[in-house]
């Protein structure tokens, strides 16, 4: 039976949630409770308040079935419908058999850089719509076109289907960049969580190396569990249990050490594109993302590692709440713009 909260229309619940974030800081602190501190970090008040509301909602990212988990994320996306003020045109694209959506900000000149983006969701949930506002934000604030890729999901299409689709769509973008209105010498890959994993796979295995990589709290190694999986196992949106559920749906145990599943385990990362990699302090995936950044640096790759130490997994999707969420995404958009517009080819 649905809970009382689940019976509330998502649009109504969303208005309540957004209203809470307009309250004065002392009132928000009173609602959220005492500050949360762990591993020498203090959770942002904005994140703490959001976590309180998600607990009331009673949803988790993983579910008893893939269909249930997808319905939960579809409900959550209605909470945060805000888009940038600058209009963004969209059109559907067939990227050599992989569905995709092209975002073009109003007034953006032909020959702009292009970001090929892969949505998060543990390779099981998520789609073009769940990450629509993130793509719009990056398109507007980085002054780029964005090609968002609707790769196949597990368990219907287990590993390596998502990785193969990611490489196919990127290859299409490289071959058809001018048709997409983009500069073929300024093509980035990016993604969040499982999408960050796919972007890293493309950065390592694509025939034509991307010009930049934008990785939000990426999954880089599903073969082992690191310390942050223990520290932030529960209570911070993405849980250790969720990650186990996603990994079990996506990839069999005997293939998890393959670099296309765990790019951190690739023997040679030389030649990987210049990278902005951002982690969240209160995230089970924090340590593997930061270890990947260290491996890139050791391989001679230009990499900027940024830990948003007071935030949680998924903060990019929460930007419309403002505050620290928007600040963090704005910083990433700035890094993308700088990396593409000031890159070697430009």
* Predicted local distance difference test score (pLDDT) of residue 20: 87
Domains and CATH numbers, the chain: 4-77 (no CATH), 88-341 (3.40.50.1820)
Between 7 and 137, the more confident residue is 137
**Cis peptide before 294, with omega less than 30 degrees from 0?**
no
b/e map 314-343, b = 16+ CB within 10 Å: bbbbbbbbebbbbbbbeebbebbbebbeeb
* Predicted local distance difference test score (pLDDT) of residue 31: 94
- In Å, how far are 17, 87, 171, 216, 294 from 137, measured between CA atoms? 20, 11, 24, 14, 28
| CB-count burial class (<10 Å; 0-12, 13-18, 19+) for 151 | buried
Nearest to 16 by CA among 26, 3, 31: 31
Q: Determine which helix (DSSP H) or strand (DSSP E) holds 164, and give its type and residue range.
A: helix 161-175
Distance (Å, whole) CA 288 – CA 258: 15
* Predicted local distance difference test score (pLDDT) of residue 5: 47
Indicate if 313 belongs to the active site: yes
Catalytically annotated residue among 127, 192, 313, 320? 313
Residue length, the chain?
346
Catalytically annotated residue among 112, 193, 247, 262? 193
Is residue 12 pLDDT above 90, yes or no? no
* Predicted local distance difference test score (pLDDT) of residue 312: 98
Is residue 171 pLDDT above 80, yes or no? yes
For the record, the structure tokens of 83 come out as 């888009």
* Predicted local distance difference test score (pLDDT) of residue 344: 56
* Predicted local distance difference test score (pLDDT) of residue 61: 87
Least confident range of 140-144, 182-186, 225-229, 340-344 = 340-344
Indicate if 150 belongs to the active site: no
Q: Do the strands 145-149 and 98-105 form a parallel or antiparallel pair, or are they unpaired? A: antiparallel
Task: Give percent above pLDDT 70 in the chain.
Answer: 95
For the record, the structure tokens of 140 come out as 């507007």
SS3 302: coil
Is residue 19 pLDDT above 90, yes or no? no
**Cis peptide before 160, with omega less than 30 degrees from 0?**
yes
Confidence of residue 148 (pLDDT cuts 50, 70, 90): very high
- Over residues 230-263, the pLDDT tens digits come to 999 999 999 999 999 999 999 999 999 999 999 9
Is residue 24 pLDDT above 60, yes or no? yes
SS3 121: coil
Rg (CA), the chain: 19
The residue-averaged pLDDT of 36-64 equals 89
Catalytically annotated residue among 283, 287, 310, 320? 283
Question: pTM of the prediction?
Answer: 0.95
Largest CA distance in the chain: 57
The residue-averaged pLDDT of 212-231 equals 98
* Predicted local distance difference test score (pLDDT) of residue 346: 52
Indicate if 283 belongs to the active site: yes
* Predicted local distance difference test score (pLDDT) of residue 4: 42
- In Å, how far are 50, 92, 229, 285 from 243, measured between CA atoms? 20, 31, 9, 9
The residue-averaged pLDDT of 93-109 equals 98
């Amino acid at each position: 039976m649905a809970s009382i909260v689940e019976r509330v229309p998502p649009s109504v619940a969303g208005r309540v949630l957004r209203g809470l974030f307009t309250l004065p800081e002392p009132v928000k602190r009173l609602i959220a409770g005492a500050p949360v501190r762990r591993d020498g970090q203090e959770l942002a008040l904005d994140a703490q308040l959001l976590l309180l509301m998600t607990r009331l909602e009673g949803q988790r990212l993983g579910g008893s079935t893939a269909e249930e988990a997808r319905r939960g994320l579809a409900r959550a996306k209605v909470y945060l419908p805000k888009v940038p003020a600058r209009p963004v045109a969209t059109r559907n694209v067939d990227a050599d058999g992989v569905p995709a959506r092209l975002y073009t900000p109003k007034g953006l000149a032909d020959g702009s850089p292009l970001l090929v983006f892969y949505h998060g969701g543990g390779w099981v949930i998520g789609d073009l719509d769940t990450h629509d506002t993130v793509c719009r934000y990056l398109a507007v604030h980085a002054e780029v076109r964005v090609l968002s890729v609707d790769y196949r999901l597990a368990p219907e299409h287990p590993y390596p289907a998502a990785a193969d689709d990611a490489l196919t769509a990127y290859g299409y973008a490289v071959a058809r960049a001018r048709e997409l209105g983009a500069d073929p010498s300024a093509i980035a890959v990016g993604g969040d969580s499982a999408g960050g994993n796919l972007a890293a796979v493309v950065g390592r295995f694509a025939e034509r190396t991307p010009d930049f990589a934008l990785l939000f709290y990426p999954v880089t190694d599903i073969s082992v569990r690191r310390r942050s999986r223990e520290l932030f196992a529960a209570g911070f949106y993405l849980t250790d249990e969720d990650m186990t559920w996603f990994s079990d749906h996506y990839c069999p145990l005997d293939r998890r050490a393959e670099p296309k599943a765990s790019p951190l385990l690739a023997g040679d990362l030389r030649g990987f594109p210049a990278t902005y990699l951002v982690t969240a302090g209160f995230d089970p995936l924090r340590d593997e993302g930061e270890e990947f950044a260290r491996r890139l640096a050791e391989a001679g790759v230009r990499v900027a590692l940024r830990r948003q130490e007071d935030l949680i997994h998924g903060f990019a999707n929460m930007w419309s709440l403002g505050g620290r969420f928007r600040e963090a995404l704005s910083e990433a958009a700035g890094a993308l713009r700088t990396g593409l517009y000031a890159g070697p080819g430009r």
